[in-house]
């Protein structure tokens, strides 16, 4: 009797993009608009008609903090996916996470696209999976 091998499927629930220690928030100023637009596009969250003003406002809010070398808010509104810069930690980093059912999530694809964008723009970083503690606690 042959034993069937079961494929271990690992679901990625969220990603943490952590920059090298020498990266400061202000270093993200030049790439942030394109980074934000890429995230919104890949997450299929580009606002419909008239939403360009909302996107520009969100970008400018983040840029304002980046210019002051402060942690920006990211994209925190209720949406299918979020980009947030965590309060804790001494390195520049941000989370990408879905607010939808795991089966529908494309967080791995979105993270890969964002990571590729950062590579092309010469931002050394690492991607860590499932680092958001409060999401883990909710599931336990």
CB 127 within 8 A of CB 118: no
> Collapsing DSSP states into helix, strand and coil, what is residue 59?
helix
Query: Can you tell me the distance from the alpha carbon of 140 to that of 114, in angstroms, rounded to the nearest whole number?
Result: 29
pTM score, two decimals? Answer: 0.84
The CA-CA-CA angle for residues 20, 94, 75, to 5°, reads: 145
Distance between CA atoms of residues 116 and 99, nearest Å: 23
Compare 4 and 42 and report the one with higher pLDDT.
42
pLDDT tens-digit map of 61-111? 999 999 999 999 998 777 889 999 998 888 999 999 998 888 789 999 999
pLDDT of residue 48: 82
Neighbours of 127 (CB within 10 A): 17
Using one digit for the tens of pLDDT, what is the confidence trace for 12-46?
A: 789 999 999 999 999 999 999 999 999 999 999 98
Q: What is the pLDDT of residue 11?
A: 67
The pair of structure tokens assigned to 114 is 């964002």
User: How would residue 139 be classed by pLDDT, with cut points 50, 70 and 90?
Assistant: very low
What order of strands is seen across the sheet that includes strand 93-98? 81-84, 93-98, 15-19, 125-129
CA distance 119 to 125: 8
Radius of gyration of the chain (CA): 17
The stretch 43-60 carries a mean pLDDT of 87
Q: So what's the pLDDT on residue 10?
A: 58
Residue 125: how many other CB atoms lie within 10 Å: 19
**What pLDDT, on a 0 to 100 scale, did the predictor assign at position 31?**
98
Q: What pLDDT is stored for residue 118 in this prediction?
A: 98
How is the chain split into domains, by residue range? 15-139
Q: Given this model, what pLDDT does residue 134 score?
A: 56
Q: DSSP alpha helices (H): ranges in the chain?
A: 32-42, 52-67, 107-120, 133-139
């Amino acid at each position: 009797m042959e034993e069937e091998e079961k494929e271990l499927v690992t679901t990625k629930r969220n990603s943490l993009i952590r920059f090298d220690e020498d990266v400061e928030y202000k270093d993200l100023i030049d790439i942030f608009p394109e980074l934000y637009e890429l995230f919104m596009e890949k997450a299929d969250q580009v606002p419909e008609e008239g939403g360009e003003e909302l996107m520009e406002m969100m970008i400018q809010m983040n840029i304002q903090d980046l210019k002051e070398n402060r942690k920006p808010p990211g994209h925190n509104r209720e949406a299918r996916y979020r980009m947030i810069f965590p309060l804790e930690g001494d390195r520049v980093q941000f989370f990408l996470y879905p607010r939808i059912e795991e089966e529908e999530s494309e967080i791995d694809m979105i993270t890969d696209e964002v990571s590729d964008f950062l590579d092309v723009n010469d931002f050394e970083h690492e991607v860590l999976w499932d680092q958001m503690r409060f999401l883990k606690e909710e599931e336990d």
